[in-house]
Amino acid sequence: MTAGAAPDVVTLGETMAVLRAGGPLRLGGDLCLSVAGAESNVAVGLARLGHRARWVGRVGDDELGTLILRSLRAECVDTAGARTDPDAPTGLLLSEPRIADLTRIQYYRAGSAGSRLCPDDVPAETLDGARVLHVTGITCALGPGPLAAVRAAVRAARASGVLVSLDVNHRARLWGASEAADVLRPLARDADIVIASDDELALAADPSARTTADRVRSLLAGGHTREVAVKLGGEGAELHTPHGREHAPARRVTVRDTVGAGDAFTAGLLSGLLDGLGPRERLERANTVGAFAVASAGDWEGLPERRELALLEREDGATVR
């Protein structure tokens, strides 16, 4: 991102250091160090597609915090809104492949710098010139401070005409469904775009809605929501608007790692929005970026640059020379 340029998208949340195991952790072996966080994954995805992305968050005054900031800057993500906390460590995540394509995640984020995010970390000028604010349910689950930061950012976005994107992104290890729904339902009413897997919709929709269709209708009927994107895994995705529904099938690729696929989908969807694409074309880009994620190891490492989006049109086993 060019220094001094206004961001297209601002996102905020916790980015952690990640230790990835090649097998079950109890058996020991090598660990690979990287970084990841839902919101920064989206920022990296957008930056690789040529958009200006800003990540707001806290890291510890430690080597892992330095790694996170260096990694994001190397991916052209603006970290002007990031803060280094001298009194709390950078959060840590352990990732182990358990069976086939099932990955088990263990968090070490209680009391982390990222869990101390607060409204003062998101002054209104953070959104100056931005077109989209992207937030997730994960940040809301980290504690009162991060939740207050998300709410303050959403209020500032609404006041300044910035579109609000909300990814429900429920993490059962962070909070229960009932607590999440109490927070996410009012937040969804303030979002222009709500993104969720089909099993997460209930946490954002009217509690009286019992089917996916009814939940989508309840979201579109109340508040500011004008689009609902529903992720359907291997069945692709749907984009619902007051004018109808679009469906795009998933891209067929060999699955290596499903972690980060939802963030990749979101990056592709927002990229299409920024480029002025129609609903169908936006879904197709979102599914394409998501396919790159699941066909690669890591949360964001395999995300495509814009010039690479057409690679999936090539035959299986093709070599680019």
| pLDDT tens by residue, 2-51 | 666 899 999 999 999 999 998 889 999 899 999 999 999 999 999 999 99
- pTM, two decimals, is 0.95
Q: What is the pLDDT of residue 276?
A: 97
Answer whether residue 24 is part of any domain.
Answer: no
Answer whether residue 317 is part of any domain.
Answer: no
The catalytic residue among 121, 263, 299, 316 is 263
How many domains does one find in the chain?
Answer: 1
Asked if residues 42 and 50 have their Cβ atoms less than 8 Å apart, the reply is no
Q: Is 40 helix (H, G, I), strand (E, B) or coil?
A: helix
Domain extent at residue 220: 9-13+38-64+75-88+116-302
Residue with tokens 């303030």: 190
Asked if residues 230 and 198 have their Cβ atoms less than 8 Å apart, the reply is yes
Asked if residues 56 and 121 have their Cβ atoms less than 8 Å apart, the reply is yes
* Cα–Cα distances in angstroms (integers) from residue 288 to residues 246, 255, 281, 296, 318, in the given order: 16, 13, 10, 13, 17
Answer whether residue 307 is part of any domain.
Answer: no
Q: Is 170 helix (H, G, I), strand (E, B) or coil?
A: coil
Answer whether residue 226 is part of any domain.
Answer: yes
- List pLDDT tens digits, range 255-309: 888 889 999 999 999 999 999 999 999 999 999 999 999 999 889 999 999 999 9
263 is catalytic: yes
* Cα–Cα distances in angstroms (integers) from residue 244 to residues 61, 64, 213, 225, in the given order: 49, 46, 11, 14
Phi-psi region of 129 (alpha: psi -120 to 50; beta: other; left: phi over 0): left
Q: How many residues does the chain have?
A: 321
- List pLDDT tens digits, range 204-262: 999 999 999 999 999 999 889 999 999 999 899 999 999 999 999 999 998 888 889 99
* Cα–Cα distances in angstroms (integers) from residue 189 to residues 31, 206, 249, in the given order: 42, 10, 28
Asked if residues 40 and 72 have their Cβ atoms less than 8 Å apart, the reply is yes
Answer whether residue 20 is part of any domain.
Answer: no
- List pLDDT tens digits, range 159-180: 999 999 999 999 999 999 999 9
* Cα–Cα distances in angstroms (integers) from residue 291 to residues 191, 234, 249, 286, 319, in the given order: 26, 10, 11, 9, 18
Answer whether residue 183 is part of any domain.
Answer: yes
CA-to-CA distance for 156 and 119, rounded, in angstroms? 11
CATH number of domain containing 153: 3.40.1190.20
Answer whether residue 22 is part of any domain.
Answer: no
Q: What is the pLDDT of residue 3?
A: 61
Answer whether residue 194 is part of any domain.
Answer: yes
Asked if residues 156 and 257 have their Cβ atoms less than 8 Å apart, the reply is no
pLDDT-based confidence at residue 103 (cuts at 50, 70, 90): confident
